[in-house]
Amino acid sequence: MKALLHYRASPMFQERLMQSRPDWLDVVVVDEDDQPALQKELKDTDVLLHVLAPADSTLMSFAPQLKLIQKIGIGVNTIDLVEAEARRIKVANMPGTNTQAVAELTLGLMLSTLRNIPVLDRATRSGGGWTLPASVTDRQGEICGKTVGLVGYGAVSQRLAPVLRALGAVVKYFSVDAHNDPGATDSLDALLAQSDIVSLHLPLTPKTEHMVDASFLGRMRAGSLLINTARGGLVDEPALLEALQSGHLRGAGLDVLEQEPIKASNPLLTLDSVVVTPHLAWFTAETVQRSLDVAFENCKRLKEGEPLLFSV
């Protein structure tokens, strides 16, 4: 059996991949930009270890014996599920493997945006850290006492909520699903009106695409922050830019963007009030190991004809 990891894997990722694979499984790694190698290697691939590059009908057409697309992560919006079903290719993801990592970076973006850490870092490195303008020093804030509104209340939100409360924040959330945790709000409008920080924790679907539009942003409390470690397509970026430039929003912390990799010309990059990271909230050594454990367990189950973990 052969598995193909379609990703620009770091040395750590590749080392753990090769150390963790079972002896009976051949594993190859193909960079996301190496289309000739991808087409060549897909010809006899049984399992695609899918990260971010779209697994579309074209890719599947190059893989006549593909039996499983194993998502490394949770979101399957980059997989053509209709095409996979038509070709009788199984699809599985791995909820929970990156929960801790995403929760931690979400908190990190909140703190970085509140304290303007990237601006402080750049100023200090250039010798201006002790002569900062008031526009920077007077924007420093604490998370203690702030109301944090979580839009969506899945695994990441539920891991993050007690940490935020331990730091002194008031945590509210809005979810279409019922939960026993305290802090539920009756409506999204109520959450937006009450929150100093709004953090997105939703999948990208036709219903949620661009849900954070001018209307959504206008209903957020003046001077609040937007945090997104979910999916870039949730946010209408021109509307976000306008809300930031007008001063209605104080700042934004974004691990995900509509276009990835982000273009250097993206106007969001010109704003000191925006903290950006390159869709790496999920990526830690610990997450990689947990993900490989699930992926190789599913390879074993596929080989032995057993039900897969976390079938989609």
Amino acid at 179: H
Distance, in Å, from the CA atom of 174 to the CA atom of 193, rounded to the nearest integer, reads 12
Instruction: Confirm whether 219 is a catalytic residue.
Output: no
Neighbours of 4 (CB within 10 A): 23
The active-site residue out of 15, 260, 286, 306 is 260
The active-site residue out of 201, 250, 279, 290 is 279
Instruction: Confirm whether 231 is a catalytic residue.
Output: yes
Q: Tokens in use for 5?
A: 């990891």
The active-site residue out of 231, 237, 250, 290 is 231
Distance, in Å, from the CA atom of 48 to the CA atom of 46, rounded to the nearest integer, reads 7
Measured in degrees and rounded to the nearest 5, phi and psi for residue 113 equal -75, -40
How many CA atoms within 13 Å lie on the side-chain side of 215?
4
Catalytic residues: 231, 260, 279
